[in-house]
């Protein structure tokens, strides 16, 4: 029995791993419906960003990342995990059902990635001007492929310039939108015991005019602006389609990539502006030829502190009785 969750192992550890998934503004837009050997991951509509993410695209990515963490934690504990995406047409916000199955052998890769779950965090600070070596790049690309997605490393000068221009355009549009800024400010805070949102202490400095590409701007950041790394490794995670199931699958691929990056000693942050503005997402799709879901900035830097999470009791509820008889 896990003393922190009240659930038997390995379920307790898997649920706690699910909490560690990334989400936009650390909104944590998931609910876990838990039975004896099953977890259903449900989209929490109350935590979807109505301005930045009105179609819940990023929220489904976050839930997909939670699915991956739960699944990986079970695998690292020597248990198979059977996942069904969107298993009930009558419940479109039931995004995945994860059934704990029989014993399986634990691979070193599973163990390494599982140990990276509590260490992975978004790093909004400047990275070092140190290139990511080719073997590490190949490992990140492979991580996305394992989860039926593709990680496009944007490295050709013309594509880098085009992507940077799209990101900068998104930044301008969002920072000039008072409705967007009001929503952002609701999730940025300095409350020590709050279990969600982005704490001011975790924000990086504002980027100066010489910075090529920088993370999202936060109006409440104090201190002088700084120049970020000259050339971060930019990567876009894509799938052929953009249905809700594609988004949940992309979230699983995103999390495997992020955990692989952590295991490789890399830092990561999200460049979400092109994903949150439909016209720019379309432009990015035209540039890459596939549906973009996540834009990442990757590189070497100094580790920060993972963001706070809500208590597990706040996100857990019993598995619905009408779902108990259905297959998982």
Q: Is residue 1 part of a domain?
A: no
| Strands 30-34 and 316-318, sheet pairing | parallel
Give residue 69's pLDDT. Answer: 98
| Residues 149 and 192 grouped into a single domain | yes
Give how far Cα 325 sits from Cα of 27, 321, 322, Å.
31, 7, 6
Residue ranges making up the domain that contains 199: 134-299
CA dihedral 51, 57, 63, 65 (to 10 degrees): -110
Give residue 284's pLDDT. Answer: 97
Give residue 214's pLDDT. Answer: 76
| Residues 106 and 230 grouped into a single domain | no
Q: How far apart are CA 228 and CA 213, in angstroms?
A: 8
Nearest to 25 by CA among 236, 180, 233, 135: 180
Count how many domains the chain has: 2
| Residues 320 and 213 grouped into a single domain | no
> How far is the first Cα of the chain from the last one, in angstroms, to the nearest whole number?
23
The model carries a pTM of: 0.95
Which residue matches tokens 């560690």? Answer: 20
| Residues 212 and 150 grouped into a single domain | yes
Q: Tokens for 161?
A: 């310039």
| Residues 202 and 276 grouped into a single domain | yes
Task: For residue 253, give every residue at least 6 positions away whose Cβ sits within 8 Å of its Cβ, in sequence order, or none.
Answer: 64, 143, 144, 146, 147, 148, 149, 151, 237, 239
Identify the bridge partners of residue 250 per DSSP, sorted by sequence position.
none
| Residues 313 and 264 grouped into a single domain | no
Give residue 327's pLDDT. Answer: 43
Q: How far apart are CA 228 and CA 249, in angstroms?
A: 32
Give residue 222's pLDDT. Answer: 65
| Residues 289 and 143 grouped into a single domain | yes
Which residue matches tokens 């208590």? Answer: 311
CA dihedral 68, 15, 8, 110 (to 10 degrees): 30
Q: Is residue 274 part of a domain?
A: yes
Q: Is residue 286 part of a domain?
A: yes
| Residues 227 and 261 grouped into a single domain | yes
Give residue 323's pLDDT. Answer: 59
Domain at 104, CATH number: 3.40.109.10
Give how far Cα 256 sits from Cα of 144, 183, 207, Å.
7, 29, 29
Q: How far apart are CA 254 and CA 247, in angstroms?
A: 10
| Residues 74 and 142 grouped into a single domain | no
Give residue 95's pLDDT. Answer: 98
| Residues 152 and 172 grouped into a single domain | yes
Q: pLDDT tens for the chain, 328 residues: list them.
A: 555 557 889 999 999 999 999 999 999 999 999 999 999 999 999 999 999 999 999 999 999 999 999 999 999 999 999 999 999 999 999 999 999 999 999 999 999 999 999 999 999 999 999 999 999 999 999 999 999 999 999 999 999 999 999 999 999 999 999 999 999 999 999 898 999 999 988 888 888 877 888 788 776 666 778 888 888 899 999 999 999 999 999 999 999 999 999 999 999 999 999 999 999 999 999 999 999 999 999 999 998 888 999 999 999 999 976 655 444 3
Q: Is residue 123 part of a domain?
A: no
Give residue 3's pLDDT. Answer: 52
Give residue 296's pLDDT. Answer: 98
Half-sphere exposure of 232 (CA within 13 A, CB side): 31
| Residues 81 and 207 grouped into a single domain | no
- Decide if 203 contacts 189 (C-beta within 8 A): no
Q: Which helix (H) or strand (E) holds 18?
A: helix 11-19
| Residues 83 and 157 grouped into a single domain | no
Nearest to 275 by CA among 296, 302, 303: 296
């Amino acid at each position: 029995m896990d003393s922190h969750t009240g659930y038997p192992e390995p379920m307790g550890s898997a649920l706690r791993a699910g909490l560690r998934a990334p989400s936009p503004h650390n909104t944590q837009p998931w609910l876990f419906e838990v039975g004896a050997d099953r977890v259903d991951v449900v989209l929490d509509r109350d935590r979807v960003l109505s301005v930045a993410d009105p179609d819940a695209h990023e929220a489904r990515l976050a839930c997909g990342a939670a699915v991956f963490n739960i699944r990986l934690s079970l695998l690292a504990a020597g248990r198979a995990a059977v996942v069904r995406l969107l298993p009930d047409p009558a419940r479109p916000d039931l995004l995945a059902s994860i059934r704990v199955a029989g014993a399986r052998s634990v691979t070193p890769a599973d163990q390494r990635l599982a140990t990276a779950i509590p260490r992975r965090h978004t790093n909004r600070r400047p990275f070092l001007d140190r290139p990511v070596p080719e073997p590490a790049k190949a490992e990140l690309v492979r991580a996305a492929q394992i989860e039926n997605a593709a990680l496009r490393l944007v490295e050709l000068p013309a594509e880098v310039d085009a992507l940077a221009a799209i990101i900068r355009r998104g930044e301008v549009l969002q920072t000039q939108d008072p409705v967007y800024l009001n929503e952002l400010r609701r999730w940025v805070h300095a409350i020590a015991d709050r279990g969600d949102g982005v704490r001011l202490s975790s924000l990086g400095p504002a980027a100066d005019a010489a910075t090529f590409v920088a993370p999202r701007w936060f109006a409440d950041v104090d201190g002088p602006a700084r120049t970020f790394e000259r050339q971060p490794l930019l990567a876009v995670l894509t799938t052929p389609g953009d249905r809700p199931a594609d988004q949940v699958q992309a979230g699983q691929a995103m999390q495997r990539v992020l955990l692989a990056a952590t295991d490789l000693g890399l830092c990561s942050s999200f460049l979400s502006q092109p994903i949150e503005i439909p016209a720019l997402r379309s432009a990015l799709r035209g540039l890459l030829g596939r549906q973009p879901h996540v834009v990442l900035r990757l590189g070497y830097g100094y580790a920060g502190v993972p963001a706070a999470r809500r208590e597990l009791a706040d996100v857990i509820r019993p598995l619905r009785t009408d779902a108990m008889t259905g297959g998982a």
